[in-house]
Structure 1
Amino acid sequence: MKVGADFRNAKIAKIKIASKTLALDDGSYRALLTRVTGKDSAAKMTDRELDAVIKEFERLGFKAVKKRAGGRKMANHAQAGKIRALWIMLYHMAAVEESSEHALAKFVKRTCGVEDLHWIGEYHADQIIRALRGWMARLGYTHPTAEHVKSVSTARTFAGIDGEDSYATAAKLNLIFWQAKKLGINDIAIRNGEYTIQDCLYADNKTLDCVIEELGASLRK
């Protein structure tokens, strides 16, 4: 997995802010970097080294200014998107009470000690994804296999439904099957009429999202 430059740059920016907040001159700043990582420039560091420097600044008293929960800006790198999708699926499984970015940030903090998705690197992203996927598996959710994704893609292409992320669609279908089983129902009423669970295979993704939201609301009651 390739770590996006956006959240790496965000880490470097945080280090610069911490240095200014603690009023370090250039010499003291570079001495700190060298002491922690053996490198005198944040640009030369790995993600783990950047994390180590941030942790050292926090030990010295630096505290990042946190936005209010309602105003938290979402991290937009690819790994954050994967993590957020899994978190929202857990919300629709009634496994977590809130789907908000603030609630997710608290989970990230508990899981790997990183403040939120803006500061995670590849190692921590993998750690969080494994934790979320494992949580879902323990609840009985089956993650799509390559063979399953291929069969879903073939069926939907044959039906004239294409141009979509086949893995995401397969994951949505598996989630609907899980929700329906949990609720003990065999039929789902959607806008286009009465569909059996199997017929959802031929529904568009917007409809699948509506089904997931409605079943999730029922599970959370």
Structure 2
Amino acid sequence: MSAARNPFRTGPRLSDSARAELVGKRAAPVSAHRRSMIGKVHVAKRELGLIEDDYRSILLAETGQISLTTCSDAQIAKLLDRLKSQGFTPKKAVRAADHPGAGKARALWISLGQLGAIENASEQALEAFARRQMGCDRLQFANQRQIYKLVEALKAIAERHGWDQKLDGIATAAAVVVLKRRLIDAQMTRLRDADWVGADWCAVRAARAFAGVEVQSFLGATLTELDSIAQALGTAIADARKAGALK
């Protein structure tokens, strides 16, 4: 039996080689440099207050294209030059702090976001919080005393939201897993209090229901699996907050 013909096809079929070439072009990875330039164009459009028609006119005039996706990197660079001439000033990217103390603070900050204890878990928000706590312009330049003060402030937020930070008697090698399990317990408490999950729900069931995360056992879960559960519950907490079930 011959294959059914697509009634909406009006032109000739693409040859296998042509189709492969087209799919290859569509699937070609976008470089980080190109993504950065495209992001700057969108920021410029917003900051300059360009309406769509004005933006399209500039795009066409500078590149000869009607869409950024069809522009070459050189054409996007030319478009950015035009937007800069109209007053757009790209903000210089600031590298995230990379020392161990910053890493610990960042991990706490992200987890607090998953717990719903803070509204904005971005790197920029962490830097702003750290600046207020430490009196230091950049987390990257903080000394050991300042980092300690920051971490203790983050732990205090965690404690206020039901995430126990005490590690007396806990082996150092087990501390990260213990704290992650406690985070998940605190997340589940918040979701139960908001009636977002049933009183009889466990973390494994919630993770499966909200994000399709499959874990056989909570107590036997690896750190990677616990991270997946925490992320899934963090999304559920964010949804509950948006719906007004959580404050």
Change in Cα spacing, 1:193 to 1:217, as seen in structure 2 (3 Å) is closer
Structure 1 alignment gaps of length 5 or more: 1-66, 154-164
Change in Cα spacing, 1:194 to 1:128, as seen in structure 2 (3 Å) is closer
**Segment of structure 1 superposing worse, 186-195 or 100-109:** 186-195
Secondary structure of the 1:76 match is coil
Aligned-pair distance for 1:144?
4.4
2:93 is aligned with 1:75: no
Q: Identify the structure with bigger relative contact order (alpha carbons < 8 Å, sequence gap 6+).
A: 1
Q: Give CA-to-partner distance per residue, 1:90-142, whole Å, 9 cap, x none.
A: 11111222222111000011112211211100111111011111111111211
Quote the residue 1:140 is aligned against.
162
* Distance in 2 separating the partners of 1:84 and 1:125: 11
Give the RMSD, CA atoms, in angstroms. Answer: 2.3
Q: Give CA-to-partner distance per residue, 1:158-196, whole Å, 9 cap, x none.
A: xxxxxxx4211111100001101111142233467576x
Please point out which of 123, 146, 151 is paired with 2:145. 123
- Alpha-carbon contact 2:161-2:186 (below 8 Å) kept: no
Per the normalisation by structure 1, the TM-score is 0.56
Please point out which of 211, 216, 220 is paired with 2:229. 211
Question: What percentage of aligned pairs have identical amino acids?
Answer: 26
1:55-204 equivalences in 2 (<5 Å): 68=91, 71-147=93-169, 149-150=170-171, 165-184=173-192, 185=197, 186-187=201-202, 188-189=204-205, 190=208, 193=214, 199-204=217-222
- Alpha-carbon contact 1:179-1:215 (below 8 Å) kept: yes
* Distance in 2 separating the partners of 1:169 and 1:68: 38
Aligned-pair distance for 1:212?
0.3
Q: Give aligned pairs, total.
A: 137
Per the normalisation by structure 2, the TM-score is 0.50
Change in Cα spacing, 1:204 to 1:114, as seen in structure 2 (3 Å) is same
